[in-house]
Amino acid sequence: MSEIPTAVPGTAGSPSTSAPKRRISATLLVGSLLVGVVVLAALLSFFWTPYDPVRAVPSDRLLGSSADHLMGTDRYGRDVFSGILYGARITLFVGLIAVGIALLVGTPLGVLAGMRGGITEEVTMRGTDILLAFPALLVAIVFGAVFGAGTGTAMVAIGIGSIPGFARVARSGTLQVMSTEYVLAARASSQSGLRIARRHVLPNIAGMVVVQCSVTFALAVLAEAALSFLGLGTPPPVPSWGRMLQESQQFLGSQPSLAIWPGAAIAVAVLGFNLLGDGLRDRFDPKLNGGR
């Protein structure tokens, strides 16, 4: 996999001629569309759902798809389509908070390690290596056992488990930026480390970090679904795609659509964020666009 360059147009040491206009790749376009569908579903749930997603109607249990219930109803008589819409809100909320935690903690650690080097870099990266040995799902299970299962626990656990990825990406990009001539000149002019980080490092690694955000978001969607499936995520009766999938197990033979709809929603979200990340990586990497 090609490395994402850290130099950006308009920065010292970068080509002065303007690069040719790049076309939007099919990967980026499809990823954006799929992510847009998930975001639209989440936003729609704030203003409208066909039925109350948590209201059980025993007389309507296990109904098939119809004009009244587009995706049918579950074993409690709740409308599946309403649950899918509301579940999109939960999924995006968990992903945003988890990615935010990883971004705000991992990126500064990686930048600090790349700029300071020496013992600071060694301690920081060995610490992330230790954390890397504990996947987000395992961290969430431990947190759930200690602090109790819930959406908040899942968000924090997934965020902590994703910190090493951001730290590694930020450190890699920082090392590339620190070796450039304009940063060497800035250091020779006695500019502070904070000023160099703000003016040179962060703007140049922003593209790499954005790609990491998209990829981590896809992992967060999977982790949240897995935790809800295991009963360690969003508690009932709040709809969650993972728990909807878990509750549909006993009806796979008679009502397979109960598993198909939440499974498809998870697949669309994960595929969308992965394709979006791949598309952004390709767009930020001139080697993949014929650049020199």
Question: pLDDT tens across 91-138, in order?
Answer: 999 999 999 999 999 999 999 988 887 888 888 888 888 888 877 778
- CA dihedral of residues 24, 28, 32, 33 (deg, nearest 10): 80
Q: Which amino acid is at 82?
A: S
Instruction: Specify if 276 maps to a domain.
Output: yes
pLDDT grade for 178, boundaries at 50, 70 and 90: confident
Q: Is 118 left (phi over 0), alpha (psi -120 to 50) or beta?
A: left
Contacts of 207 (CB under 8 A, 6+ apart): 4, 8, 280, 284
| Residue 217: predicted pLDDT | 94
Instruction: Specify if 77 maps to a domain.
Output: no
Find tokens 């499974």 and name the residue. 263
Instruction: Specify if 65 maps to a domain.
Output: no
* 6 in Cβ contact with 208 (< 8 Å): yes
| Residue 287: predicted pLDDT | 53
Look at residue 4 and tell me whether its pLDDT is greater than 70: no
Q: Which residue has the higher pLDDT, 46 or 8?
A: 46
Question: pLDDT tens across 187-203, in order?
Answer: 777 777 778 888 888 88
Alpha-carbon distance of 40 to 242, in angstroms, equals 20
Q: Which residue has the higher pLDDT, 10 or 242?
A: 242
Provide the percentage of residues in the chain whose pLDDT is more than 70.
88
Alpha-carbon distance of 219 to 226, in angstroms, equals 10
Which range is least confidently modeled, 28-32, 93-97, 148-152, 182-186?
Answer: 182-186
| Residue 16: predicted pLDDT | 41
* 37 in Cβ contact with 270 (< 8 Å): no
Top mean pLDDT of 79-83, 189-193, 225-229, 245-249 is at: 79-83
Contacts of 217 (CB under 8 A, 6+ apart): 95, 99, 273
Alpha helices per DSSP H over the chain: 26-47, 80-116, 118-132, 136-147, 151-161, 163-178, 181-188, 193-196, 202-229, 241-247, 257-284
Instruction: Specify if 119 maps to a domain.
Output: yes
* 218 in Cβ contact with 266 (< 8 Å): no
Instruction: Specify if 27 maps to a domain.
Output: no
Instruction: Specify if 256 maps to a domain.
Output: yes
Rounded to the nearest 5°, which phi and psi values hold at 196?
-65, -40
Rounded to the nearest 5°, which phi and psi values hold at 13?
90, -5
Alpha-carbon distance of 163 to 161, in angstroms, equals 6
Establish whether the linkage from the previous residue to 237 is cis, with ω within 30° of 0: yes
Question: pLDDT tens across 253-289, in order?
Answer: 888 888 999 999 999 999 999 999 888 888 776 554 5
* 82 in Cβ contact with 51 (< 8 Å): yes
| Residue 11: predicted pLDDT | 46
Contacts of 152 (CB under 8 A, 6+ apart): none
Alpha-carbon distance of 82 to 68, in angstroms, equals 12
Domain CATH number, residue 220: 1.10.3720.10
| Residue 10: predicted pLDDT | 41
Question: pLDDT tens across 10-26, in order?
Answer: 444 444 444 455 667 88
| Residue 13: predicted pLDDT | 43
Q: Record the tokens describing residue 109, joined without a space.
A: 């650690």
Q: How many CB atoms are closer than 10 A to CB 122?
A: 11
What DSSP state is assigned to residue 198? I
Question: What are the residues facing 278 on neighbouring strands?
Answer: none
Look at residue 58 and tell me whether its pLDDT is greater than 80: yes
Task: Report the pLDDT averaged over residues 27-44.
Answer: 93
Alpha-carbon distance of 156 to 165, in angstroms, equals 15
| Residue 290: predicted pLDDT | 44
Instruction: Specify if 15 maps to a domain.
Output: no
Look at residue 75 and tell me whether its pLDDT is greater than 60: yes
Question: What are the residues facing 73 on neighbouring strands?
Answer: 79
For residue 145, the enclosing domain spans: 83-288
Structurally, how many domains does the chain consist of? 1
Instruction: Specify if 122 maps to a domain.
Output: yes
